[in-house]
Structure 1
């Protein structure tokens, strides 16, 4: 299997009109977008909407509208994808609120959804950061943030779940415990083990 192109090379080829390069570039962001979508869907829409469906719609829209993107860096590209993701999430929320005969304008706005998505994206750095410099480094490097997500989705499912509930949904440990059917003490220990494993994976792939 061919090694995936680095961002700069893939982006340059995509700008030249190579659809395969654009498809490959977008594919490297699938896990990143899925984690962000899942962090919003679980507490807004429950099981009624699939994160994978939202992400697929986002990928298709990004492929279609790539010519409108004016940025150059991985950070700008990530931010652009988050805007598209936020719009798709908002439309899904809007559809389901209307189905429940609720006034979406009184409960949520596109700006609120976008802000929540950006907050989750920024929170990725805080998963591992023991100091501000580490957090800043991860946030400022779009490819590094994406790599962190790729490592996150490699974790066992219960590790992923406890991190999502605690770090992305900001639930208290007793609330996470209730969701997972564990005691609060067991949940806290599970969370610490999950972060430790993620740190080990991250450090193993990070140049000294």
Structure 2
């Protein structure tokens, strides 16, 4: 890779690094958070991007930033496979008995399990359906702003820029959409 290409990749990567860390934090299985740091996943993503950048440049089918997000999601998936799929020293065993004491993870899981009843699961299912229907009824822009804020983990200004809106307009659309979602969810709580 020539220095010019390397510089383009570095600039693009560091311009979205914080987004990638937020994305990783949101998507990383909670059982891995004691073992794997979001910044480590993002750094691994950079190393993968560096190795594969010539492939990207030869056939760029998506914007570079989107490609970096895609690689980040792949790296998260690989971390899940590596850590959660291991047979010998599993996280489940470590969480259950790290030093002969109950871990916080086990206590929280135990309490959540005892609080989950068939009626609450049915209510949760109905709420998910109602919220899904509401999202489907929203405009494409409102759906996209929710996706960008909660799945891609972009800030309001980044969403506005991506959608070609003013920061104020993006904020108002997001707030209205969230209020509608909360209204529907509150009927089930």
Query: What TM-score do the two structures reach when normalised by structure 1?
Result: 0.41
Query: What TM-score do the two structures reach when normalised by structure 2?
Result: 0.45
Structure of greater Rg: 2
